[in-house]
Amino acid sequence: MFKGFYTAASSMVAQQRQLEMMSNNLSNVNTPGYKTDKGALRAFPELLLERMGEKQHPVMNRQLPTRTPVGALNTGVYLQETMPMFSQGDIEETGRDVDLAIFHHDSLPDEAGAVLFTVQNEAGEPRYTRNGSLQVDGDGFLVTAEGRYLLNTENAPIQVAPGSFQVSSDGVVTDSAGNVSTLNMAYSADPQAELVREGNGLWRAEGGALAQATVGFSVLQGSVERSNVNLNETMTGMMEAYRMFEAGQRVVRAYDQSMGKAVNDVGKIG
């Protein structure tokens, strides 16, 4: 009976974590460049149950142990991992010069790969993002909404002269004074394995900095990439996870009532 408790409880924990993951996706449905997470559920190893007994041997006149298969018992389920999906999000035109979007071409070296902007965190280390909703700070540097510098191919912050500036499809920035700088567009062939989410739309590369992307993308000025969260799919998944959580609650309640009867009623002497 205790195994049933553990099985139902593990299911509830897994569904709770699924709900937390999907709630985070839902809260970022309007965050530019956000990449949705998908969860992978996995079952714990199954146990093979056998009924043990004895059988009288007609010749040896002794009891021999026997085993009769009863069946398999699943010991529960858990959320093994959450995986970010780097599929292309919809492109939304904003008309703002400081908004940049990355659009993947069919010529991307690897279909599962991803191209990202390179920015600088507070410690001066390179980080990566798909959020191209930028600003120009008081010193003329291109920064994210959190104030992180956008980097060029020399890993230096990009500074533009007052006035409008142009960004070509291959990431070349030209300001009103004729200064030219090239965006450091990073490429990850396997982003699910190479990138770690840090929050605020930032990713950290495992094993060093990413290589520069040279083909397979276009930078679109005056547009942003919307999140790739599927709203209908996320809402449906949340309702399914909630129903599974409730089912686990009912199972735990049934086991609790059965144990209560076993403790309070079975032992009574009429």
SS (H, E, C) 16-31: HHHHHHHHHHHHCCCC
Please check the confidence at residue 63 and state whether its pLDDT lies above 80: no
How far is CA 111 from each of CA 106, 107, 190, 196, rounded to the nearest angstrom?
Answer: 8, 9, 9, 19
Please check the confidence at residue 172 and state whether its pLDDT lies above 60: yes
Please check whether residue 246 is in contact with residue 12, taking contact to mean a CB–CB distance below 8 angstroms.
no
Q: What are phi and psi of 197, to 5 degrees?
A: -70, 135
Beta strands 37-43; 77-84: pairing state: antiparallel
Please check whether residue 50 is in contact with residue 76, taking contact to mean a CB–CB distance below 8 angstroms.
no
- What is the mean pLDDT of the segment spanning 162-188? 95
Which pLDDT value is given to residue 73? 66
- What is the mean pLDDT of the segment spanning 1-30? 87
- Ramachandran bin of 228, using left for φ above 0, alpha for ψ from -120 to 50, beta for the remaining angles: alpha
How do the domains of the chain map onto residue ranges?
A: 2-82+230-264, 86-225
- What is the mean pLDDT of the segment spanning 190-201? 91
Token match 């956008």: residue? 150
Which pLDDT value is given to residue 91? 96
Q: pLDDT band for 67, please (50, 70, 90 cuts).
A: confident
Which pLDDT value is given to residue 149? 97
- What is the mean pLDDT of the segment spanning 215-231? 95
Name the packing angle between helices 2-27 and 231-264 (round to 10°): 160
Q: pLDDT band for 77, please (50, 70, 90 cuts).
A: confident
Q: What are phi and psi of 91, to 5 degrees?
A: -95, 125
- What is the mean pLDDT of the segment spanning 98-106? 93
Query: What angle is formed at CA 113 by the lines to CA 232 and CA 187, rounded to 5 degrees?
Result: 125
Please check the confidence at residue 267 and state whether its pLDDT lies above 70: no
Please check whether residue 110 is in contact with residue 116, taking contact to mean a CB–CB distance below 8 angstroms.
no
Buried b (16+ CB within 10 A) or exposed e, 9-21: bbbbebbebbbeb
Cβ contacts of 88 within 8 Å, gap of 6 or more = 103, 104, 225, 228
Pick the more confident residue, 71 or 184.
184
Give pTM, 2 decimals.
0.81
Cβ contacts of 130 within 8 Å, gap of 6 or more = 32, 33, 34, 35, 89, 102, 114, 116, 117, 201, 225
- What is the mean pLDDT of the segment spanning 146-157? 95
Percentage of the residues of the chain whose pLDDT score is greater than 90: 60
* Lookup: tokens for 19: 């709900």
Which pLDDT value is given to residue 60? 63
Lowest mean pLDDT among 4-13, 66-75, 104-113, 239-248: 66-75
Between CA 124 and CA 145 the distance in angstroms is: 17
Mean of pLDDT over the chain: 88
Pick the more confident residue, 62 or 117.
117
Q: How far, in whole angstroms, is CA 8 from its chain's centroid?
A: 25
Which pLDDT value is given to residue 191? 92
